[in-house]
Structure 1
Amino acid sequence: MKSLIEIYKESPETSGLTDKQLKIFQAAINLFAKKGYKDTSTKEIAREAGVSEGSLFKRFNNKEELLLSILKPMSRVILPEILNEFSEETMKSGYPTLHDFINVILRNRMEFFKANIDVLRIFIDEFIYDENIRQDMIDEIPYEYLKNINESFDKLKSDNLLIDWNNVEIFRFIFSTIFGYLAQHYFLFKSPNWDEEEEISHLVDFLVKGLTPDDK
């Protein structure tokens, strides 16, 4: 998967940013993640970036446009790439058990989430609490990727590795479980002393036991 920096460089909202504008963009990410979008002013963003407030408005018309420049690539590029890689991994041979598949996928995605936690925190905060932002984000998702997820789950079911439930349910259970883990340790509370390796192993086991067919 591309890094967030690469994705932002290619995004129409943020391609061609000058060094000064990149500082503004990074300052906005830092402050939105730390204080929240609504509690952060454009004056604070400019001060954090070490530029004048006027410099911010040369590229971004207002604070909301700056926020959407951060969030839209998440819906349009980042989440679809995660879904696409998820489905491609499923189609590959070499995962003889559901445990092997979930273990590899979960650990791979967890590293990406942890490396980009500030942007994800902003995305989740605004997605949950702002109905207009949520609709904008939903409109950006290319829905053909959801078709790939369905095909992936159907392949696992045909190999008798995945329980025969509705694919939407399966998707919801997997990602709500992962989100719950991330929310507890990275969004809602700071948990510096937990055994991450052990908890991830438990998370994998939990998903596998819940999604394995009864006759396995």
Structure 2
Amino acid sequence: MKSLIDIYKESPETSGFTDKQLKIFQAAITLFAQKGYKDTSTKEIAQVAGVSEGSLFKRFNNKEELLLSILKPLSRVILPEIITEFSESTLKSDYPTLYDFINIILRNRLEFFKDNMDVIRIFVDEFIYDENIRAEMIAEIPYEYMKNINDSFDKLKSRGLLVDWNNVEIFRFIFSTIFGYVAQHYFLFQSPNWDEKEEISHLVTFLVSGLTPKNTAE
């Protein structure tokens, strides 16, 4: 998967940034993650970036446009790429068990989330609490990528590796479990005093146990 920097460089909202605009963008990410979007002013962003407030408005009409320039590439590129990788990995049938599949994909995604936690925190905060932002983010997700996740689940079901539940329910089960882990350790408490390796192993085991058909479960 591309790095966030590469994604932002290629995004129409953020491509061609000057050094000054890049400082504004990075300051906004830092402050939105620390204080929240609503509690951050454009004046504060400009101060942290070391530029005038007028410099901010030369590229962004308002604070919301700056926020969307951070969030839209996540919906348009990052989530679709996650889903594409999820789909392609499944359809290749390289994994002999559901455990192998979930273990590799989950660990890879958690590493990405950890490396880009500030931007992910902003995305989660706004997606949960702002209905208008949530609608805009969902609208940015290409339809064909959402279809891929259904194809992935159907392929696993045909191989007898996945429970025969509604695909939306399966996706919700996986997402809510992973999000609960990320929220506890990185959003709510951010405590370094936990056995990360052991908890991730438990996370994978829990998902596999819940999603394995009863007649094939060990």
TM-score (norm 1): 0.98
SS of residue in 2 equivalent to 1:13 = coil
Q: Which residue of 1 aligns with 2:123?
A: 123
1:67 and 1:195 mapped to 2: Cα distance?
Answer: 34
Q: Which residue of 2 aligns with 1:113?
A: 113
Q: Which residue of 2 aligns with 1:73?
A: 73
2:79 and 2:139 mapped to 1: Cα distance?
Answer: 13
Q: Which residue of 1 aligns with 2:64?
A: 64
- Amino acid corresponding to residue 29 of structure 2 in structure 1: I
2:54 and 2:118 mapped to 1: Cα distance?
Answer: 25
1:132 and 1:149 mapped to 2: Cα distance?
Answer: 25
Question: C-alpha displacement at 1:94, in angstroms?
Answer: 2.4
Alignment of 1:21-100 (within 5 A): 21-100=21-100
Question: C-alpha displacement at 1:61, in angstroms?
Answer: 0.8
Can you give the 5+ residue segments of structure 1 that lack an aligned partner in the other structure?
none
Question: C-alpha displacement at 1:147, in angstroms?
Answer: 1.0
Question: C-alpha displacement at 1:166, in angstroms?
Answer: 0.8
Question: C-alpha displacement at 1:143, in angstroms?
Answer: 1.6
Q: Could you list the structure 1 runs, at least 4 aligned residues long, displaced by more than 3 angstroms after superposition.
A: none
What percent of counterpart residues are identical?
84
Question: C-alpha displacement at 1:93, in angstroms?
Answer: 2.9
Q: Which residue of 2 aligns with 1:182?
A: 182
1:66 and 1:89 mapped to 2: Cα distance?
Answer: 35
Give a deviation string over 1:122-167, Cα, whole Å, max 9, x none.
0110111111111111111112111111111111111111111111
RMSD of equivalent CA atoms: 0.7
Q: Name the count of aligned residue pairs.
A: 216
